[in-house]
Chains A and B, each alone.
Chain A
Amino acid sequence: MADLDQYVDARVSRSKFDRELDEFRSLEADYRRRGWFLLSAEFPRVEVLMAASQLTPPSLVLGVAFDYTNYDAEPPSVRLVNPFTSIPYLASELPTRLDRDVAASQQIVIQVPPGMPKPKLLQPYMQWYSPDEVPFLCLAGVREYHRHPAHSGDAWELHRTSGAGRLVRILEVIDRYGIEPIRAYSVQVQLVPQITGFQAEPPP
């Protein structure tokens, strides 16, 4: 996954990487209760598995692969990966798009006829151009976001000191928009019941 050579003094990046891990491990029991499992960590990579513990039975939803090469002169790379293979999901394979209900969060009023449910205006944090490419997390603090030409006006340096690239912060965002909204299994009953996805309620 690393697409950068380590040009920052490796001792600096490794020290900051170790701090992320030490802090995570100091609260590992709390994170585990929320369904976050530290699978592996070897500089510069960390992989965390995220489960929907609110389901019965619980579901292992996805893995998150971080690459802290050159941290924190550069933000970390973040990919959603298959939790069983660590292979990044293609857009067509994503178990969640990390949808945000923009209408609710920005109090956009959408007029609908009486009795009709209000439509949601969803904006996914996962972005892609074609279904057969690896999508990126469109979030300040993520390497792929800051490298995207559309975000050249929102440099990493503007976010670096706010902790935007920190491990737990990025996991919180993925949890909030990808795991926490899951309410139930989405089941399609045919001759044989099949789990086809999740029923989620995107937060504002």
Chain B
Amino acid sequence: MAEKITITIVVNGQPTHVVGDTEAPVGSLIPKALEQTGNQGQPPDNWELRNAEGQPVEVGRPVRDFAGQTLFLNLRAGIGG
């Protein structure tokens, strides 16, 4: 069975701790983070995951690559005007 680790994800500024399989894609944590913070008004595709430097995170990378990091999940801007 895959080992589990906890990643801190900051959803629109609100930190939450999400447990995931080390080998699972980090994107699989997004629905859990949204659920845990009560942000269920928009589908997961409308959210964007970034690292502490503000760089976009490849959601297909395994969770283990982000051990000890804090990730930031924010609602995409959408089309303005």
Contact = CB atoms under 8 A, between A and B. Distances in A.
Interface stretch (A112-120, A170-178, A189-197): A170-178
7 contacts: A30-B70, A124-B80, A141-B75, A160-B41, A168-B12, A168-B13, A169-B74
A23 B80 contact: no
The 9 A-B pairs with the shortest beta carbon distances in the complex, nearest first, are: A168-B13, A162-B41, A163-B12, A138-B80, A161-B41, A169-B12, A172-B74, A166-B12, A162-B42
A108 interface: no
Contacts of B52: 30, 33
Interface of B: 10-15, 37-42, 46, 50, 52-54, 70, 72, 74-75, 77-81
A139 B54 contact: no
B46 to A, nearest CB: 8
Interface in A65-114: 100, 102
B40 A164 contact: no
Interface string A28-42: 001001100000000
A172 B39 CA distance: 17
Given A30-B52, A180-B54, A168 B10 contact: yes
Nearest to A172: B74
A127 interface: yes
Nearest to B76: A173
Interface residues of A, number: 36
A114 to B, nearest CB: 31
Interface of A: 20, 23-24, 26-27, 30, 33-34, 100, 102, 123-125, 127, 138-141, 145, 158-164, 166-169, 172-173, 175-177, 180
A23 B39 CA distance: 16
B80 A139 contact: yes
- Identify the interface centre among A34, A158, A162, A166: most chain B CB within 10 Å of its CB: A162
Contact of B72 (A26, A124, A138, A172): A172
A169 B80 contact: no
A125 B80 CA distance: 6
Contacts of A127: 80-81
A102 B50 CA distance: 21
A27 B69 CA distance: 13
A167 B80 contact: no
Nearest to A174: B77
B68 to A, nearest CB: 14
